[in-house]
Amino acid sequence: MIELIAIDLDGTLLRDDKTISEGNRAMVRKAIDNGVDVAICTGRPLEAIQQFLDILETNTSDHYSITYNGGLVVENKTGKVASQVTMSMADAKRLYDVMASLELPLEAVLIDAVYQFPFPENHPGLYQETMNFLPFKQFDMDNLDPETAIFKVVVNTETDHLMGVIDQIPSWVYEDFEVMRSHPFQLEIMPKGVDKGTGVSHLADILELTKDQVMVIGDEENDLAMLKWAGTSVVMANGRPDVKELADYITDSNENDGVAKAIDHFVFFETDN
- Kindly list the catalytic residues: 8
Which are the contacts of 165, defined by CB distance < 8 A and separation ≥ 6?
Answer: 102, 103, 104
User: With b meaning 16 or more CB within 10 Å and e meaning fewer, what string describes 236-257?
Assistant: bebbbeebeebbeeebebbeeb
CA-based nearest residue to 12, from 249, 264, 236, 245: 236
From CA 45, how far away is CA 134, in angstroms rounded?
Answer: 9
